[in-house]
Amino acid sequence: MISKKALPRRTFLRGMGTAVALPFMDAMVPALASAKTAKPPVRMAFVYVPNGIIMQGWNPDYEGTLQELPRILKPLEPFRQDITLLGNLTHNTGRALLDGAGDHGRCCASYLTGVQPRKSVIDIKAGISFDQIVAKQVGAQNRFPSLELGMEDARQAGDCDSGYSCAYTNNLAWKSDTQPLPPVLDPRALFERLFGNGMATTPEARARENLYRRSILDFVSEDTHALESNLGPTDRRKLDEYLSSIREIERQIEKTEKDNAQIDPHMEKPYGIPADFAEHFKLMTDMMTVAFQSDLTRVITFLVTHEGTSRPYREIDIPDGHHPLTHHRNQPDLIEKVTQINSYHLRQFAAWIAKMKSTKEGDGSLLDNCMIVYGAGLSDGNRHLHEDLPTLIAGRGGNHFKSGRRIVYRKETPMCNLFLAMMDRMGVHVEHFGDSTGRLDVLDLT
Amino acid sequence: MQFPIAAKPPVGIVFDAAMRRIDEVLALAMLHGFDGKGQARIAAVCVSSGDLRAAQYCDAVRLFYASATTGLAAMFMHSLPVGLADPVRTGDAPMFQTVGQNTIKSIDDTADPATLIRNTLMAQNDGNAAVVLSGPATDLAHALDMYGVRDWIARKVRVLSVAETGLEADRSAADKVISGWPTPIVTVSRAIGEALPFPGESITRDFAYATPHPIADAYRAFQPMPYDAPSWAMAAMLYAVDPNDGYFKLTGSGNVRALSLDPEQKDRVIRAYIEMASAKPVPRKPRHPVDDKDKKKDEKKDVNNKPDPGK
């Protein structure tokens, strides 16, 4: 007779003001359930980079099985079998369509909404983004229906592009046609959102707290010990690794706060935001890993930097602004600099993919159960083109996609066709979204 | 949403043709001629026969007319892909056996016609587009089936100008379009096209400015010279671009009317055919997505990199 009860998927380690969700563990699989019936959930994320990509460094000159990757995609070489490159996807609603200049505002606002945004600085209007449709339907089972994250400038007002509000360039997710969801930029704020009690904490209050505590894990140690005693060796190791990764994130945030305070107490960035781009990217994506791993959410959007950004990249010795560089007018030296920025972004992304792939889940990796789209709302930033948008999917959406391929669709194929296919994988069935004309038909092969 | 702009541009033309007859090639040349003279804009070109060579030819013709534009203007010149009906085949039409330089290698380099038509209509001012159909109405029937497209047609298209010759190839599509098209339709009968022949002598006289010339070469390859060509698609194109210029009269009533020939206008119509079909490529003005004002703003902008004091 089998009497052992499965550990509920929604088990939390609780302590004072803290609730730490758990990763998917063997103990959560009912004793009589087969591996097939206890499949981990499918998650999706969008990682958006601005100002287009140097496409000759992105597009391979072949279709089918991925072989040697082009220069910008090189960092993903170890994960060639885990990615799918999609060609010729288009966002027609990002084009001017009689609204004149403002491609940066439009391409970002239309990216996940599939509609042409209203050209306005004050009276904003786009559409509900498809991630929010998914979040609404599948997110009820998670602590956070969705997470909106970013690394730069979450301002919502002002003119950011030729008469388009900053709300268009600085948000990816839209809860309704007039309500964008600003991204969380500060790792500390995200950490406390994921593991805290939801109360905002000032730096001063945090400093006081730090005198008395080392980690949020201290608060949940009682629950942790109780749980560990009921786990098998594999789950114990998994739990240990998971809690260690949270502790590591916490350490990094504390280090950032300490460093920031030492560098310049009046620095422009919010208190917990690392000055170093790569460090910031890593912290945010480490927390995205934990959020997926512990099923805190199944939907994440990550606006790396805002659309049209003129951020310099001194980290890689490029003091020029990103956006002005992208208007390179085919000058080789400027193209080279933009390529280096594109590659730099991809290196950070590849490091995250490595982490996702090394995180075990079920019979495979966490990455296997995700669809992580990396892309941009413009292809050629010099000419502001909205076709053949750089788009790759990392992961297999629950081992559903046959990855390791480059698939080129017909020109003008709506990006929204991809969204419909992704919604299907997330269990949300919609007939039409944005300017879709159908579902991407090659994506769902196993 | 339409954002106010300074002036209404010339009419945007969607040209959907089987590209099996020489009058369709000449109509394509006329469209480029009108575009070059600022009397119309090429909104989209679709090949309904699925002939990959015909699509390659349309693209080669585009490049021929773009050849006069150089420098920055060429860098920022942008055009939509050719629409090509599926299933695709490699046709054997003699006029496309030698196709000039083009950017189409496979079907992936072309667009689904219905999607292309939808996308391009969205970019037109209200009531400032016209559709010229020559050949089967299959693409337009598909467009009518596509979500929301009927509304875009109703809003953007002022007329559908149809060369009847070729419609029979897909009778059900023709019936669907004739009955379901939301804006006025005019038809060009077989008799009209035959009564207004394009003079073959024009090929040696008016197209000699370039060698090779994609239009003249196709004309010579279509059938042994000399010959005059019936002008069904050309008449449909001429009416669509300028319905108020008195080239034709309309007969009938209701939503579907027919062009009729005014004998006094015959020479004028043929002169217009020749002038537009043989028009030389002209340089286009530079167009850059970021104008100087925006660039200056961008250089000193960087306000976006400053923290929001409210955060």
Element (H, E) at A64: strand A64-65
pLDDT of residue A428 exceeding 70: yes
Question: Residue A215 has what pLDDT?
Answer: 77
Q: How far is CA A175 from CA A246, A288, A291, in A?
A: 29, 20, 20
Determine the pLDDT at residue A10.
77
Rounded Cα distance, B125 and B127, in Å? 6
SS3 content of chain A, % helix, strand, coil (to 5): 40, 15, 45
Amino acid identity of B86? Answer: D
- What mean pLDDT do residues A132-160 have? 92
**What pLDDT score does B98 carry?**
85
Closest CA to A63 of A87, A90, A89: A87
Q: How far apart are CA B122 and CA A108, in angstroms?
A: 19
- CB B155 within 8 Å of CB B129: no
What gap in Å lies between CA A333 and CA A314, rounded to an integer? 16
- Tens of pLDDT along A311-328? 999 999 999 999 999 999
Nearest to B289 among A154, A155, A383 (CB): A383
Helices (H), A359-395: none
Of A160, A169, A437, the CB nearest to B146: A437
Closest residue, chain B, to A269 (C-alpha):
B307
Q: Across the interface, do A92 and B80 touch by the CB < 8 Å criterion? A: no
**Tens-digit pLDDT profile for residues A14-35:** 877 788 888 888 888 776 565 5
* Boundaries of every domain in chain B: 11-305
Tokens of A310: 């003129």
More confident residue, A396 or A35: A396
Residues of chain A neighbouring B305 (CB-CB closer than 8 A): 152-153, 309-311
Report strand pairing: A83-90 vs A405-414. parallel
| Contact across the interface for B114 and A437, Cβ inside 8 Å | yes
CB-based contact (8 Å) between A260 and chain B? no
For residue A214, what pLDDT is reported?
61
What is the arithmetic mean of pLDDT over A102-128?
Answer: 97
What does each C-alpha distance from A384 to A170, A333, B9, B111, B209 come to in angstroms? 18, 19, 21, 20, 35
Which position has the higher pLDDT, B176 or B71? Answer: B176
- Rounded distance between C-alpha atoms, residue B100 and residue B21, angstroms: 18
Closest CB to A410: pick one of B108, B118, B301: B108
Structure confidence by residue, pLDDT tens digits, A30-71: 765 655 567 899 999 999 999 999 999 999 999 999 999 999
Domains delineated in chain A: 1-38+190-272 (no CATH), 43-185+277-446 (3.40.720.10)
pTM of the entire predicted model: 0.92
Could you tell me which of A130, A176, A172, A181 has the C-alpha nearest to residue A432? A130
Cis peptide before A50, with omega less than 30 degrees from 0?
no
Question: Could you identify the residue written with the tokens 């909205």?
Answer: A386
What pLDDT digit, counting tens, does each position of B153-205 carry? 999 999 999 999 989 999 999 999 999 999 999 999 999 999 999 999 999 99
Whole-angstrom Cα distance, residue B111 to residue B85?
A: 8
pLDDT bin (cut points 50, 70, 90) of residue A343 is very high
Facing residue for A97 by CB, picked from B114, B123, B302: B123
User: Residue B27 carries which side chain, given as an amino acid letter?
Assistant: A
Fold classification of B11-305 (topology level) = Inosine-uridine Nucleoside N-ribohydrolase; Chain A (3.90.245)
Q: Give residue B97's pLDDT band: very low, low, confident or very high (50, 70, 90).
A: confident
pLDDT average, residue stretch A348-365: 96
Average pLDDT over residues A187-199: 82
Decide which of B5 and A235 is more confident: A235
> Comparing C-alpha atoms, which of A24, A28, A18 is closest to residue A222?
A18
Cβ density class B201-234: b for 16+ within 10 Å, e for less: ebbeebbeeeeebbbbbbbbbbeeeeeebbbbbb
Contact A399, A39 (CB under 8 A): no
- Judged by a CB distance cut-off of 8 A, whether residue A177 touches chain B is no
Burial of residue A77 (number of CB atoms within 10 Å: 0-12, 13-18, 19+) = exposed
Report the C-alpha gap between A338 and A333 in whole angstroms: 9
Is residue B311 over pLDDT 60? no
- Which of A119, A386, A437 to mutate against chain B (most B CBs within 10 Å)? A437
Specify burial of residue B285 (Cβ count, 10 A radius: 0-12, 13-18, 19+). Answer: exposed
- Residue A15: what pLDDT? 78
Q: Which pLDDT value is given to residue B310? A: 31
The whole-angstrom separation of Cα A172 and Cα A91 is: 14
Q: What distance in Å separates the CA atoms of residue B184 and residue B256, rounded to the nearest whole number?
A: 6
Q: How far apart are CA A89 and CA A410, in angstroms?
A: 8
* Structural tokens at position B212: 């090779």
> Are B149 and B183 within 8 A, CB to CB?
no
pLDDT tens, residue by residue, B114-132: 999 999 999 999 999 999 9
- What the block records as the tokens of A392 is 């790759």
Q: Mark yes or no for CB contact B295/A408 under 8 Å.
A: no
What confidence category does residue A382 fall into, taking pLDDT thresholds of 50, 70 and 90?
A: very high
Q: Over 60: is that where the pLDDT of A4 sits? A: no
Question: Is the CB of B123 less than 8 angstroms away from the CB of A96?
Answer: yes
Residues A351, A352, A353, A359: is their CA dihedral positive or negative?
Answer: positive
Q: Does A98 touch chain B (CB under 8 A)?
A: yes
